[in-house]
Amino acid sequence: MIKILIEKIKRYKLSYEIYNVFKKNKLVHNVALYKKYNLKKNYFSSVSSVDFIGLESPLNIYDNTDSRLYLPNNPAYKSLAEKIKPQLLSWTKDGFVILNNFFCEEKIELINEELDRLIRKGVIKFVDEKKIMCSIHKSNILNDFGNNIELNNVLKVLLGKNVKLFQSINFLKGSEQKAHSDSFHMTTFPFGNLITVWVALEDINEESGPLEYYPESHKLPYVLNKEIKNIGTKYKLGKKSYGDYESFIEDLLQKGGFEKKTFTAKKGDVLIWHANLLHGGAKVINEKLTRKSMVFHYFADDSICFHEITQRPALI
| pLDDT, one tens digit for every residue, the chain (316 residues) | 666 666 777 888 999 999 999 999 999 999 999 999 999 999 999 999 999 999 999 999 999 999 999 999 999 999 999 999 999 999 999 999 999 999 999 999 999 999 999 999 999 999 887 899 999 999 999 999 999 999 999 999 999 999 999 999 999 999 999 999 999 999 999 999 999 999 999 999 999 999 999 999 999 999 999 999 999 999 999 999 999 999 999 999 999 999 999 999 999 999 999 999 999 999 999 999 999 999 999 999 989 999 999 999 999 8
Per-residue pLDDT at 6 = 63
What one-letter code names the amino acid at 82? E
pLDDT given for residue 12 in this prediction: 87
Which CATH number is correct for 46-313, 3.30.430.20, 3.10.20.30, 2.60.120.620, 3.40.50.720? 2.60.120.620
Task: Give CA separation, 292 vs 98, 237, 286, 287, in Å.
Answer: 17, 35, 14, 13
Please give the model's pTM, rounded to 2 decimal places: 0.96
State the pLDDT at residue 130. Answer: 85
Is there a contact between 291 and 209 (Cβ–Cβ < 8 Å)? Answer: yes
144 Cβ neighbours under 8 A, 6+ residues apart: none
Cα distance between residue 42 and residue 39, in whole Å: 9
Contact between 261 and 287 (Cβ < 8 Å): no
Around Cβ 117, how many Cβ atoms within 10 Å?
13
The residues facing 274 across adjacent strands are 195
Residues 6 or more apart in contact with residue 194 via CB below 8 angstroms? 182, 183, 186, 187, 188, 275, 297, 298, 299, 300, 305
